[in-house]
Amino acid sequence: MDVEEFRVRGKEMVDYICTYMTTLRTRRVTPSVEPGYLRAALPAEAPHLPEAWDDVMMDVENKIMPGVTHWQHPRFHAYFPSGNAYPSILGDMLSAGIGCIGFSWAASPACTELEIIMLDWMGKAIGLPPAFLALEEGSNGGGVIEGSASECVLVSMLAARAAGIKRLKHQFPTVDEGLLLSKLIAYCSKEAHSCVEKAAMICFVKMRILQPDEHGSLRGETLKEAMEEDEEAGLVPFFVATTLGTTSCCSFDNLPEIGPIVRKFPSVWLHVDAAYAGSAFLCPEHKYHLAGIEYADSFNTNPNKLMLTSFDCSLLWVTNRYLLTSALVVDPLYLQHCYDHTAIDYRHWGVPLSRRFRSLKLWFMLRSYGISGLQKYIRRHCELAKYFEKLVKKDERFEVCNQVKLGLVCFRLVGGLDETPEQIDELNKKLLTNINASGKIHMVPASVRDHFVIRFCVVHQQATREDIEIAWDIISDFATELLEGPDKERDLNEERARRNRAALAHKRSFFVRMVSDPKIYNPAINKTPPPVPTTPGSPPPAAAPATPDTPSDAGSVQLVPSTPKQSSWISWPLAFFFQSVDHDANDLPLSMLSRFRHLDTMVRLKSPGAGALPRRGSSPGASPARRAPSPATQ
């Protein structure tokens, strides 16, 4: 393709996108295809000769679009919003067109400098303290755009881990770093996003998962007790991850309580994950959620969720950029430049070396909408959630299960007086399955106070009250059909018998899978310390807790009380891995199958089988009894 053809095709592509957006309502919100559908439709190998552009675009419409879940569809109410406002799409287009790789200031000065300025603009607009801003007089802080909130949490934990090991090494200079690492322990709430546990796995540190209060909020006293208990057992608390706006139910950890507790433990890093909620703090009325932020060492939010900006755009701020970069710095000669002592080099702020010019889309968004335009969008988003909450509350067959503070409402059918909690869960699973199978609207479930609930998120950029009413009518009609239709005489015993078979397939189903499924922290796995590495004939593990100054028992790391409080779980790095017999999903115990869904996915993708072609009127995950793999997690 030469530049003249690009000029033409580029305009056609914009037209295609505009038509897609304006006709989205006519499509099913979720596709009706089975895993492997595309493999049956595409050749097994790449073409040897170039193909005509028109043929490629025809395949986009005929082969790709039937397998797309339309996240911008007005009936999409799953997960959180995925921004894609036009100025942002254009910013990404320009970034791709410029095609620079801004790993250092010298590699593309504008790329680095615009990012620094955008992070300061955003930090000020959200209400972060000056210590987080790079260009503030006397500040050691600053912000960076990472590829995801998961990366923001990971690099914060890496920085905290490096600082923790450094401090311990100073205290115990003769003790091996490996042993020091085994003493570190991180903390988060059961409501924290699973990326926090993943970060702990990557960092190879223990993580204690704590029980939040009845509103899903982690409280200071719970954290304090856990940290004190662990310190007594010879462990070294080094990282606390809190969440403002949790994935399951948009709850808020109690930062004003947690902050002062963390301060009492010198050198413990306090991270605040506000992936979804952070953009709401652009509005003065939501800023109160940030109370206690002055205690934090790092904070992240995703404008690609609630700020209309296209993925990927995850912002991370730290108050001490030197702690972050010293954990990640490598400095080969070919990347050095003559300004590297006076300029920020973002290659030291994250995992990848190469980075796109992502700040362009943020700049376009902030200038096109202005803070006031973004506030208007966020306010409407929250008002519509309140409107949906009102509709649910008006119908006595339902209850609202979370405190609706932003755009997420968790609700469920309450069931009859004589129904057990399990039966009510089943009822709600069935309701959600039926709704999703219809392709009329799309929602996902969550677990709130150990109940199966349905999450309804206001997502569409131009959503109106009418959209909310349409969604509610669909939900309400399905509930009526379930409660009063041919299913009225539902046999709950049969339901219970079916439940065991269904639960497994249900969990695997992408469209009815829990967001942040707390059962992933399987107590059977996590309450058990990892196997002590012993060699044949070696003595049993030492009974007494080890401490950094008793390195001789390095092989028997029995450090944590063997019966941690019932309300918390210890996630041992890779403990689940050591417990598996081998990598065959068929050999895994039931309790571990949710963790090893991906193995099954690989097996099934190899044999697309009879279901390879799209089926009318069905949707992946439509029936809990189907075995559908989970292609992705939120």
Residues in contact with ligand PLP by the rule CB under 6 A? 80, 148-150, 193, 195, 243, 246-247, 273, 275-276, 302, 314, 634
Cα–Cα distance for residue pair 70/535, rounded to 1 Å: 54
Of residues 246 and 298, the one with the C-beta less far from ligand PLP: 246
Copy the structure tokens of residue 538.
């070696």
Contact 619, 31 (CB under 8 A): yes
Least CB distance to ligand PLP at residue 196 (A): 8
Rounded to the nearest 5°, which phi and psi values hold at 221? -65, -40
Name the residue type at position 567: S
Of residues 243 and 254, the one with the C-beta less far from ligand PLP: 243
Contact 349, 155 (CB under 8 A): yes
Of residues 33 and 159, the one with the C-beta less far from ligand PLP: 159
Least CB distance to ligand PLP at residue 560 (A): 26
Of residues 277 and 427, the one with the C-beta less far from ligand PLP: 277
Of residues 302 and 433, the one with the C-beta less far from ligand PLP: 302
Of residues 148 and 547, the one with the C-beta less far from ligand PLP: 148
Least CB distance to ligand PLP at residue 398 (A): 24
Least CB distance to ligand PLP at residue 273 (A): 5
Which residue is listed with tokens 């979370």?
402
Of residues 80 and 269, the one with the C-beta less far from ligand PLP: 80
Cα–Cα distance for residue pair 201/509, rounded to 1 Å: 25
Of residues 275 and 448, the one with the C-beta less far from ligand PLP: 275
Least CB distance to ligand PLP at residue 216 (A): 12
Least CB distance to ligand PLP at residue 444 (A): 11
Note the helical H segments in 204-272.
220-232, 255-264
Looking at residue 244, the DSSP 8-state letter turns out to be B
Least CB distance to ligand PLP at residue 262 (A): 19
Angle at 112 between CA 106 and CA 118, to 5 degrees: 165
Least CB distance to ligand PLP at residue 80 (A): 5
Cα–Cα distance for residue pair 220/227, rounded to 1 Å: 11
Least CB distance to ligand PLP at residue 402 (A): 14
Which residue is listed with tokens 């311990």?
168
Copy the structure tokens of residue 226.
């856990």
Of residues 217 and 314, the one with the C-beta less far from ligand PLP: 314
Of residues 314 and 571, the one with the C-beta less far from ligand PLP: 314
Sheet of 269-273: strand order equals 142-146, 314-318, 298-301, 269-273, 236-243, 184-189, 206-210, 569-571
Closest CA to 148 of 632, 630, 513: 632
Least CB distance to ligand PLP at residue 360 (A): 19
Rounded to the nearest 5°, which phi and psi values hold at 476? -65, -40
Least CB distance to ligand PLP at residue 509 (A): 19
Cα–Cα distance for residue pair 498/11, rounded to 1 Å: 54
**How far lies 436's CA from each of 71, 84, 400, 510, 594, in Å?**
14, 24, 20, 11, 21
Least CB distance to ligand PLP at residue 634 (A): 5
Cα–Cα distance for residue pair 156/176, rounded to 1 Å: 23
Of residues 165 and 457, the one with the C-beta less far from ligand PLP: 457
Copy the structure tokens of residue 478.
């399905």
Looking at residue 302, the DSSP 8-state letter turns out to be -
Closest CA to 144 of 314, 328, 269: 314
Q: Helix or strand or coil: residue 15?
A: helix
Contact 320, 306 (CB under 8 A): no
Encode 307-318: b = buried (16+ Cβ within 10 Å), e = exposed.
bbbbbbbbbbbb
Of residues 148 and 267, the one with the C-beta less far from ligand PLP: 148
